């Protein structure tokens, strides 16, 4: 029998909220959301981020208080990003593997003060380099892949020694997952997870983040096109994910979020691994600006965008709206 109108009336399943709730395919919960936290040195200090209204940099003591609030809302994981002083930056990002550095002290302090929260640490050199790039530069300003990996391995082991749950290499150097996994195994960090930024595009949505971690002035007009992915391509993302999984990545990251849901869907259909999506700073700031001007309903837009990422195949979403979203969902 031909299934068509009036035998099939698709609106029948939409005509009241109990029915819509019963057949809903995807549900957003606290377990889906991860809150990023920007760190600064000192005590009892908080700094506004001009390009990200309502988001702040904070010292470790205040970060711990914030994490406890997030945990009460149901948040299972937080992602840490440091903003260090220029005096600690050099051409090699040496501060990145200082066992007494800002990130390392934060991991240890949070682990001691907050139980049952997953800590994700950013593994990259751009917050630590005087030039703002994610890798070591040659005399001709070329990013040196293999030399950079050596520093990333040191950084990863430093975080692992502090007890981090998930290492998140966001640098996009070829082969870094293999080297980091080998170092973790050799040092008996068998349970340390790797969240690989496999599909990290050379996007124009990162500007406010670079402001937040203090790398924008160091980077200047330089670009990252030689290692981050061309946003015209999708096959590249599949190859990156495949390589990272084979090298020991436990989880795959797609970044940015909403403009790249086709990539999320493709990777979800091809690989049987957890997928995280990063709703990045530019996405946050656009929604915030539009809502402040009363052009959009902030609550509804945020929940819709987060659901779109879940629907595309995300297991978890790193979002600056995680805290607000959970309040709105209650």
Question: 3-state DSSP call for residue 36?
Answer: strand
CB of 275 closer than 8 Å to CB of 264: yes
For residue 257, the 8-state DSSP code is S
The whole-angstrom distance between residue 42's C-alpha and the CA centroid of its chain comes to: 24
CB of 305 closer than 8 Å to CB of 282: no
Instruction: Decide the pairing of beta strands 143-144 and 136-137.
Output: antiparallel
Is 112 among the catalytic positions? no
Point out the catalytic residue in the list 224, 255, 288, 323.
255
Is 330 among the catalytic positions? no
Torsion of the alpha carbons at 95, 195, 305 and 54, rounded to the nearest 10: -20
Question: 3-state DSSP call for residue 79?
Answer: strand
Point out the catalytic residue in the list 89, 200, 288, 310.
200
Pick from 95, 314, 100: which is nearest to 195 by CA? Answer: 314
3-state SS, 179-210, equals HHHHHHHHCCCCCCEEEEEEEEECCCCCHHHH
Strand partners, 199: 254
Give the span between the Cα atoms of 10 and 17, in whole angstroms. 15
Binning the chain into helix, strand and coil, the percentages to the nearest 5 are 45, 20, 35
Pick from 217, 213, 208, 214: which is nearest to 285 by CA? Answer: 208
Peptide bond connecting 225 to the previous residue in cis, omega within 30 degrees of 0? no
Give the span between the Cα atoms of 96 and 69, in whole angstroms. 28
Active site members: 200, 255
């Amino acid at each position: 029998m031909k299934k068509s109108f009036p035998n099939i009336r698709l609106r029948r399943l939409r005509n009241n909220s109990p029915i819509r709730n019963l057949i809903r395919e995807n549900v957003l919960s606290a377990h889906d959301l991860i809150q990023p936290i920007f760190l600064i040195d000192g005590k009892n200090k908080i700094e506004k981020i001009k390009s990200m209204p309502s988001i702040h940099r904070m010292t470790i003591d205040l970060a711990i208080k914030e994490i406890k609030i997030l945990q009460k809302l149901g948040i299972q994981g937080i992602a840490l990003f440091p903003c260090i002083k220029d005096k600690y930056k050099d051409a090699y990002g040496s501060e990145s593997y200082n066992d007494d550095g800002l990130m390392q002290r934060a991991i240890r302090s949070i682990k001691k003060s907050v139980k049952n929260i997953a800590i994700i640490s950013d593994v990259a050199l751009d917050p630590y380099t005087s030039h703002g790039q994610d890798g070591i530069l040659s005399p001709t300003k070329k990013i040196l892949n293999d030399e950079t990996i050596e520093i990333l391995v040191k950084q990863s082991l430093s975080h692992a020694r502090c007890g981090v749950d998930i290492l998140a290499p966001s640098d996009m150097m070829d082969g870094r997952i293999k080297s980091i996994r080998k170092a973790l195994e050799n040092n008996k960090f068998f349970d340390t997870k790797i969240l690989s930024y496999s599909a990290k595009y050379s996007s124009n949505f990162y500007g406010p983040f670079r402001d937040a971690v203090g790398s924008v002035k160091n980077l200047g007009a330089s670009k990252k096109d030689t290692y981050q992915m061309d946003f015209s391509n999708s096959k590249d993302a599949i190859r990156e994910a495949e390589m990272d999984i084979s090298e020991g990545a436990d989880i795959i990251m797609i970044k940015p979020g909403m403009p790249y849901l086709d990539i999320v869907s493709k990777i979800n259909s091809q690989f049987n691994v957890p997928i995280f999506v990063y709703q990045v700073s530019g996405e946050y700031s656009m929604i915030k600006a539009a809502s402040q001007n009363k052009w959009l309903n902030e609550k509804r837009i945020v929940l819709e965008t987060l659901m779109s990422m879940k629907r595309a195949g995300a297991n978890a979403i790193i979002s600056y709206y995680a805290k607000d979203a959970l309040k709105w969902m209650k």
